[in-house]
Amino acid sequence: MENSFLSIIPPLVALLMVVVTRKVLPSLGVGIILGALMINNWSVTGSIQEIYTIVKGIFIDSESGGLNTWNMYIIFFLLLLGMMTAFISISGGSRAFGEWAMKRVKTRVGAQIVTAVFGIIIFIDDYFNSLAVGNVSRPITDRHNVSRAKLAYIIDSTAAPMCIISPISSWGAYIIAIIGGVLATHSITGVGALEAFMRMIPMNLYALFALVMVFFVSYFDINLKAMKVHEDRAQKTGEVLDPEKGAVPGETTGLPESDKGSVADLAWPIIMLIAGTVTFMIVTGIQAVSGTDTAVTALTIFENTDVATSLLYGGLIGLATSLIFFFVKRMGGAVLGKGIWEGIKSMLPAVYILFFAWTLIEIIGSLGTGEYLAGLVNQHIVIGFLPAILFLLGGVMAFATGTSWGTFGIMLPIAGEIAAATDPTLMLPVLAAVLAGAVFGDHCSPISDTTILSSTGAGSHHIDHVMTQLPYAVLVAGISLLGYLVLGFTGSSILGLLATAVLFGILIFMLKTKYANRPVEVAKN
């Protein structure tokens, strides 16, 4: 069953169940069990052992026998962020920041635009972007009755697209390293890895226009399909969440709130979180490069940085800062304990989803789903269609496997092989198409960790975020696909970008005519 058509069945079943039932954990669980049974020839005992080994690997590194620091540090960071958010609320920081922002950001449009700008500014890492921007923006968007689903869309559609076009980011550094290997393998010496990455930016059509789409959607208040339901409820009733679905990750309830709060109670923990994380990304990157033959540059630092460790230390610094403001308020030990527990509890739904998603991703890897999908591209290719085909395949692979980084690792070398064997002038266009397709698939996949963390950062129900973002992602992908056809048949990145821009303008005009909505601004008191 490995590396065959059957290998796509478990992720497909899980994804269909998510869409039909809107219950993430049972759907992922079915996909995990089905995949394990297929790997072990339907042996129940073997399947249980398979799942146990995978789950154990989430906690314990199989090679070193020590803690799996990447996974565990991400989990610890989520819990730290939950606690930090709780103490910011207890100290009165969220309320004070919301009141401060209301005096300066006076419209729903402004609240959404500010969030998008935050998403662009914080481009170092997508995990960090999703969670930090969500925590900063929620008080603003809540006060202007912007639904959490809309907030999650803005966060998700600025995080990965911005990280993938920035060379000084965890994504950029990782991609540049892979591109360098591809160019060296095929003896392409006319362009370096960094230069190639920079030249590919205008060819990364989906990422560029997903970013632009956010601003048009925010300005014209274009609410499609399920998003309209959430936005209508938020504007008419002030409910930014569906009240029938209960609590969501990042939300703390029943906590006391100081009436002596100030903007500093929110601003300084966030500032220290950002400063601490970026500082440790630089420190861990320098430590990794030092003692090797690699020169210590900004690029090599971010290529070798330990993102998970940096997030953990940044989270500890942010939490410590929020506790300082909490102790200044002298609210007592009972409130301290409640804040810790409520903060942890608020993040448990996100932790559960991540555990299930990581397990399913390992199952999919064992089945060879990615390799099977990648192999399809080698059959009967017309050269001009190559960028469009690789864009679609990258999207399908990232959607099915839930990992854009895994898609990069598999598809970039394959795309390089195909271009080298057919038309080397298409090397950069096909590599850019893979990058764009991976972000598109990542945006659509309910098992993507970036999608999960975007809904967590926004405080949105996860499946609501997936279903509301999907129409926007598909529309941008559609015009990007046509742009890649132009790019493939003309070989001109300028014409490809121009064609996509014209199509995007037509799309926005049609959406604005049919869906633009400018309700009366009703802000919360």
- Note the Cα 461 to chain centre separation in Å: 15
Quote the pLDDT of residue 230: 93
Structure confidence by residue, pLDDT tens digits, 376-419 = 665 556 778 889 999 998 898 888 878 787 778 778 877 887 78
Most confident of 84-88, 94-98, 284-288, 469-473: 469-473
Quote the pLDDT of residue 523: 43
Residue with tokens 């299930």: 356
Quote the pLDDT of residue 525: 41
Structure tokens at 255: 């906590």
Assess whether pLDDT exceeds 70 at residue 518.
no
With a pLDDT cut of 90, the percent of the chain lying above it is: 31
Quote the pLDDT of residue 3: 63
Mean pLDDT computed over 25-36:
89
Q: Considering the chain, what is the average pLDDT of its residues?
A: 84
Structure confidence by residue, pLDDT tens digits, 306-364 = 878 888 898 899 999 999 999 988 777 788 988 898 888 877 877 887 788 788 878 87
Is residue 30 within 8 A of residue 14, CB to CB? The reply is yes
- Say how many CA atoms lie within 13 Å of 90 toward its Cβ: 33
Separation between Cα atoms, residue 511 and residue 47, nearest integer Å: 48
Mean pLDDT computed over 499-518:
88
Quote the pLDDT of residue 292: 81
Q: Residue 111 corresponds to which amino acid? A: A
DSSP class of residue 1 equals -
Quote the pLDDT of residue 519: 46
Name the pTM for this structure.
Answer: 0.77
Quote the pLDDT of residue 524: 47
Quote the pLDDT of residue 36: 93
Mean pLDDT computed over 46-63:
88
Mean pLDDT computed over 125-138:
79
* Residue ranges of E strands in 273-392: none
Confidence at 246, pLDDT banded by 50, 70, 90:
low
Nearby residues of 429 by Cβ (< 8 Å), 6 or more positions away: 203, 386, 387, 484, 487, 488, 491, 493, 496
Mean pLDDT computed over 110-125:
85
CA angle 303, 309, 310 (to 5 degrees): 70
